[in-house]
Amino acid sequence: MVKRVGLRVAALRAAGAVFTAVLLASCGGGQQVQKYVPSRIISFGDETSVILDTLGDHNGSKYTVNAIKDPTTTGGVTVLDCVANPIWNQYLGQSYGIVFPECNPSAITTTSHIYAANGGKVADVKTQIDTFIAAGPVTSDTLVTILAGQNDILEQYALVKAGTVTEAQAQSTIEQAGTDLAGQVNRIGLAGAKVLISTVVDVGTTPFGLAENTTTPGRAAFLSLLSTRFNSKLRIALINDGKMTGLVLTDETISSAVKNPGVSFIDVVTPVCDTTKAPTLPQCTTATLITGASGDAYLWADTLHLSSGGQRAVGALAVTRAVGNPF
């Protein structure tokens, strides 16, 4: 009997030792998993990720609602404040103290780079990545962001409207584009970088999609179908092991905002930028909005692109994904 009790005590002690070791490891004891901190951010994709430094003053404009400095401090002259109203990849960078050269008025040392370009499609992402890889080694402290696909969807949609391709052909092309983009994500990840890949917004729910549907009922549903199929094929083909790639579900976040007006945004259907005051989106600022509107309270900057508030929502999602992903 004494021998049995001794054996039980020994077993309990052994189990306790194992539990303690697991607990210490999870709480920082033992071998601690270090938090991933990138040294630079490299962005590929379309205009959603672009900062335009057209004046060469490292205070560039963006395809959203641009912030401006207080006119009373600039002699009444409109001067951009590119640090404020950050776009999604810029917001991500700010969380790590990283800046892009196109918005770097304080001249902070940076090796980050934006390869994304206005009008960029999936095929362009491959070229962008080609250029980046050719420029030097890809290291694990490089955090890559990729957001593309909307321009592919719009291109196929325009071809369907023109009668050049059928809806089935357009859907097939878009599905291939989603698969191809996943291939590029996998490629840059396998080369050594850590990647945040964003899904595309549901184009059928944009002001553009709603306007198209007013003219021709069913058009919004078709745009939504193309968006869904692109995102679906993208997600299926990703090497999404949690170590190399983090998925930013922009489509779900923006769709939730659209379905719940008044929660995150008071207006989810009206473009906030006044095109009579600012003909192009990079010219849109907090001083050129429709009367009584705010870039934080309205979801859309123009008929296809997110407002400063919309960009911030995606940026916050990207930060959460980057921090939560075991890179």
Query: 214 with 232, same domain?
Result: yes
Query: 106 with 12, same domain?
Result: no
Q: Residues 7-34: pLDDT tens digits?
A: 343 443 444 443 334 333 333 344 446 7
Query: 207 with 85, same domain?
Result: yes
Instruction: Identify the band that residue 72 occupies on the pLDDT scale cut at 50, 70 and 90.
Output: confident
Q: What is the pLDDT of residue 33?
A: 61
Query: 29 with 42, same domain?
Result: no
Query: 16 with 113, same domain?
Result: no
How far apart, in whole angstroms, are the C-alpha atoms of residue 156 and residue 211? 17
Closest CA to 41 of 306, 178, 246: 246
In the predicted structure, residue 2 carries a pLDDT above the cut 60: no
Summary mean pLDDT of the chain: 91
Q: What is the pLDDT of residue 21?
A: 40
Domain total in the chain = 2
Q: Residues 167-195: pLDDT tens digits?
A: 999 999 999 999 999 999 999 999 999 99
Tokens of 236: 């299926």
| Domain that includes residue 22, residue range | 1-33
Q: What is the pLDDT of residue 300?
A: 98
Enter the pTM of the model: 0.89
Q: Residues 34-68: pLDDT tens digits?
A: 789 999 999 999 999 999 999 999 999 999 999 99
Q: Domain with 97 in it: what CATH number?
A: 3.40.50.1110
Query: 86 with 167, same domain?
Result: yes
In the predicted structure, residue 82 carries a pLDDT above the cut 80: yes
Q: Residues 280-296: pLDDT tens digits?
A: 999 999 999 999 999 99
Query: 3 with 141, same domain?
Result: no
Q: What is the DSSP letter of 114?
A: E
The long-range contacts involving 103-109, CB below 8 angstroms and separated by at least 24 positions, are 103/51, 103/53, 103/58, 103/59, 103/60, 104/58, 105/57, 105/58, 105/59, 107/58
